[in-house]
Amino acid sequence: MTTSSPLPVPTPAVVTAPPAISLVVPTFNEAANIDELLSRICAALPPDAPGAGAVDVLFVDDSTDNTPEVVRDAALRCPIPVAVHHRPEPHGGLGGAVVEGITRTTATWIVVMDADLQHPPGLIPELIAAGERTGAELVVASRYADGGSRQGLAGGYRMLVSGASTLVAKAVFPRALHAVSDPMSGFFAIRREAVERGLSGEGLRPLGYKILLELAVRCRPRGVAELPYEFGERFAGESKSTLKEGLRFLRHLALLRTAESRARMIAFGLVGASGFLPNLAVLWLLIHGTGMHYVPAEIIANQAGLLWNFLIIDSLVYRDHRRQHRRSLRMLSFGALGNADLVVRIPLLALLVTAAGIPPVPATALSLIVVFALRFVIVDRVLYRRRQA
């Protein structure tokens, strides 16, 4: 509703201050890139431009070289506030550094970018403008959007790995990554509200390089925009990504996906089914190799299946939620639960057949389902109970 007023008043759009921006830059031995990076950031976001909003830069550093000193020195010459947080312990690698950086800033928009100038600082104002214009909570600078390019990826091998991991991530998270063509991007802008949603609940626990993947899945940003960009060559120094990072990425995907209990139940079922293989193999060996009677043979073979299940479940599905710190004790409880299986299932079966009058085959199927569900609930809610962040 509007009321008439005798004097013209400026419309709110004119007086609204532009949103504040915090740049978070993870660094690991990037001394030779700092000066050039800061001068390009200042050129892209000149602090004295009319109507310029507040901008600050935070380097989160795990370097073993003199990067922190170089940053402090460059900060003295830089017209925008620049700080460096050197971490004594590099928890979570690149992704851990970014999350630590985000929690140490306060601006409405957080822009994450690399220090080596493969991410063009000139795009920052456009990322923010796109977010403001569309209301999106996440704006991704994408190598795969129309007009983008990844020519700066060193060699066919890196291109292949990058393309394949993008496909895998999108297949594992079709909904969360639906609007993101480049979930592996290290260059994006995100609104603080979205990050805070991710920090409450289970919290953010990135593993290594793929911080955008973590934020897109755990924060479920409302509205995603993308801008194409050309992933350039490194300005100086060398890439820190390794084969180990690639393996960390797969573990990261498994952890993220199994954050939902439905997905954990499916994983638990699949791992359980895969345990038939070692179980049957050991059974065959014992019966045919040593001539053992099938009853003790199956009791032993069952242990092989349980061990297999335990190793996969403990290292992949519940890696982050080990309550008991000693692996041998976790293995014992898991094994006890697995062996209790028969003890519970046979009386249950008898009850279903005699008292409920269900024929033996469907009764067996039913008992298997009940015991599976029980086992899952005990493993998921007791042995590896999740803590709230």
- Rule CB under 6 A: which residues touch ligand GDD? 26-28, 30, 60-62, 90, 93-94, 97, 114-116, 118, 184-187, 209, 231, 239-241
CB proximity list for 226: less than 8 A, separation 6 or greater: 139, 140, 141, 142, 145, 179, 180, 181, 182
Cβ proximity to Mn ion: between 105 and 118 the closer is 118
Cβ proximity to Mn ion: between 22 and 27 the closer is 27
| Cβ at position 219, least distance to ligand GDD in Å | 17
Candidate residues 118, 165, 181, 279; the one interacting with Mn ion per rule CB under 5 A: 118
Cβ proximity to ligand GDD: between 108 and 241 the closer is 241
Q: Is 30 in the site for Mn ion (CB under 5 A)?
A: no
Closest by CA position to 341, among listed 314, 305, 313: 305
Closest by CA position to 221, among listed 201, 186, 195, 199: 195
| Cβ at position 329, least distance to ligand GDD in Å | 32
- CA end-to-end distance (rounded Å), the chain: 44
Q: What is the largest CA-CA distance in the chain?
A: 104
Query: Residue 267: CA atoms inside 13 Å, Cβ hemisphere, count?
Result: 23
Residue 60, binding choice from ligand GDD, Mn ion, none, Cβ under 5 to 8 Å by partner class: ligand GDD
| Cβ at position 119, least distance to ligand GDD in Å | 6
Residue with the shortest CB distance to ligand GDD: 186
**Which 3 state secondary structure label does DSSP give 326?**
coil
Candidate residues 30, 116, 214, 380; the one interacting with Mn ion per rule CB under 5 A: 116
Distances (CA, A) of 183 to 35, 216, 259: 29, 8, 18
Cβ proximity to ligand GDD: between 56 and 298 the closer is 56
Cβ proximity to ligand GDD: between 155 and 291 the closer is 155
In sequence order, the β-bridge partners of residue 140 are 188, 226
Indicate left, alpha or beta for 8 from its phi (over 0: left) and psi (-120 to 50: alpha).
beta
| Cβ at position 212, least distance to ligand GDD in Å | 8
- Site for Mn ion (CB under 5 A): how many residues? 2
Residue 209, binding choice from ligand GDD, Mn ion, none, Cβ under 5 to 8 Å by partner class: ligand GDD
Closest by CA position to 116, among listed 64, 67, 47, 78: 67
- Phi then psi dihedrals of residue 23, to 5 deg: -95, 130
Cβ proximity to Mn ion: between 29 and 364 the closer is 29
Closest by CA position to 187, among listed 59, 25, 329: 25
Residue 187, binding choice from Mn ion, ligand GDD, none, Cβ under 5 to 8 Å by partner class: ligand GDD
Cβ proximity to ligand GDD: between 212 and 304 the closer is 212
- Whole-number Å distance between alpha carbons of 117 and 93: 19
Residue 249, binding choice from Mn ion, ligand GDD, none, Cβ under 5 to 8 Å by partner class: none
Residues that bind Mn ion (CB under 5 A): 116, 118
